Amino acid sequence: MAVYLWVLPTDHSIALRHLAFFSLIVLTLWSAWRYELRLRLPLALPWLIYGAVALFSAFYAIDPLFSLGEVKKEVGYGILVLMLTASWVRNVSSLERFMVIVIAGDALLVGSALFKITVLDPFWHHPVSQITSLLYGGAGKDLYNGVGNFSTYLVTVMPLIAAYAFFLPRVQRTARLALFTLLAFNVLALFLTGNRMGLIVLMAEIIFAAGFLLTKGASARRTLIATAIILIVAGGLTLGQMKVRTPVDDVRWKMWSWVIADIRAEPLTGAGFGRTVLCLRDPAFCQAFPGLEHAHNMLLDKGIQMGLPGIAAFLLLLGMTLRTLWPSRTLGTDRRLWGYALGATTMAIGVFLKNMTDDFFVNHNALLFWTLVGAVLGTLAGHREEAVEAQNR
């Protein structure tokens, strides 16, 4: 599982990723048979509904074989990673070992981005106005798989890394300092992607998490000061990005109007499951917007694929995920566990917001999200089971 989690976000690792993933499946089935490991699938009902709608889309899909392959990758693998992680990660100690791997992977990707702009293509050789475009091309960009994927990855993992750092024991000052330094480099890397929505999502995540920290009895003064500083910095960086291209000039407005009209034409069906089916359903779209093969909005993409039932099923899945993770449901439990529930909830909100102006909730980004959700839900369920057993004794 550690190998799978470490290589999952990196490009050119699909062979090692599949080897680790299918080996984990085999070992899990062996453990379930030989050692009576109990397999668990959180969110089974919303996944069943979403999977049924996705599978049904193959009956009206323009390319049924393509859609079935996408259902396998996005739904089948999503269910499997959620089940595998929730079955193995059952306590805070396991979750924190799990988080060490997340942190190591984050350090690798952020380090590769900073290496690119300092060694491979030094930023001081470029005008200041071009610094935020240095991660887009050239040598070194392959490891983090492009800035769209990279910015999505950063807003996914940062809340849980922050939870790990924030709830470390005070005596581990060196580790906390190292993690907060890593988070600062994450913010810098997010800025260098030039992704405005990523910076806006970061601010939204900070505001949401800070509000819950205040309800937990954390120091209001320190929390608010830290939040204000981060918001000022992130807000300044965001405004700097908006000077480059204002939202009014963004082509997405025209794309979304076009896609909404397509969905209204066939509200109950679509072109079949798969993010890139839009051009198959409406070739004129790709002629009007060359190089843009999907709606650049997670919900509209589901609507093009499966109609309004697909949007509803997907929202049900995300809504039930949020409800299950919501920090208020874990009040009175272990302090660290509450922190991870907060981190995972913040992550889910951030991922949803980030994909409202694009759709990178596919492939490794989606699998990483469900892997992290499974780890936290498995830990929450394990804690409840231990509490029930202690009460029965």
Q: pLDDT exceeding 90 applies to what percent of the chain?
A: 52
Q: What is the pLDDT of residues 311-330, one digit of tens each?
A: 999 999 999 999 999 987 76
Cβ-contact 199, 350 below 8 angstroms: no
Higher per-residue confidence, 335 vs 4: 4
Q: What is the pLDDT of residues 89-99, one digit of tens each?
A: 999 999 999 99
Q: What is the pLDDT of residues 53-77, one digit of tens each?
A: 999 999 999 999 999 999 999 999 9
Q: Tell me how far apart the alpha carbons of residues 121 and 193 are, in angstroms, rounded to a whole number.
A: 15
Asked which of 89-93, 225-229, 245-249, 279-283 is least confident by mean pLDDT, the reply is 245-249
Q: Tell me how far apart the alpha carbons of residues 100 and 88 are, in angstroms, rounded to a whole number.
A: 16
Task: Enumerate the H helices of the chain as residue ranges.
Answer: 2-7, 14-34, 44-56, 64-71, 77-88, 92-115, 147-166, 173-192, 196-215, 220-242, 252-265, 278-281, 283-288, 298-325, 335-354, 363-392
Quickly state the pLDDT bin for 240 (edges 50, 70, 90).
Answer: low
Q: Tell me how far apart the alpha carbons of residues 320 and 329 are, in angstroms, rounded to a whole number.
A: 13
Q: Tell me how far apart the alpha carbons of residues 78 and 71 are, in angstroms, rounded to a whole number.
A: 10
Q: Residue range 126-138: average pLDDT? A: 77
Q: What is the pLDDT of residues 134-173, one digit of tens each?
A: 888 777 777 777 888 999 999 999 999 999 998 888 778 8
pLDDT at 245 over 70: no
Cβ-contact 296, 358 below 8 angstroms: yes
Q: What is the pLDDT of residues 257-310, one digit of tens each?
A: 999 999 999 899 999 999 989 888 888 888 888 878 889 999 999 999 999 999
Q: Tell me how far apart the alpha carbons of residues 211 and 326 are, in angstroms, rounded to a whole number.
A: 13
Q: Tell me how far apart the alpha carbons of residues 24 and 84 are, in angstroms, rounded to a whole number.
A: 8
Q: Tell me how far apart the alpha carbons of residues 299 and 292 are, in angstroms, rounded to a whole number.
A: 16
pTM for this entry: 0.92
**Domain containing 102: what range?**
2-392
pLDDT at 184 over 70: yes
Q: Tell me how far apart the alpha carbons of residues 246 and 164 are, in angstroms, rounded to a whole number.
A: 36
What's the pLDDT score for residue 225? 65
Rounded to the nearest angstrom, the gap between the alpha carbon of residue 29 and the centroid of all alpha carbons in its chain is: 27
Burial degree of 94 (CB within 10 A; 0-12, 13-18, 19+): middle
Quickly state the pLDDT bin for 238 (edges 50, 70, 90).
Answer: low
Q: Tell me how far apart the alpha carbons of residues 304 and 264 are, in angstroms, rounded to a whole number.
A: 10
Q: To the nearest whole number, what is the mean pLDDT of the chain?
A: 87
Closest alpha carbon to 304 in 258, 360, 250: 258
Burial degree of 96 (CB within 10 A; 0-12, 13-18, 19+): middle
Quickly state the pLDDT bin for 11 (edges 50, 70, 90).
Answer: confident
Asked which of 25-34, 212-221, 297-306, 322-331 is least confident by mean pLDDT, the reply is 212-221
| Total number of domains in the chain | 1
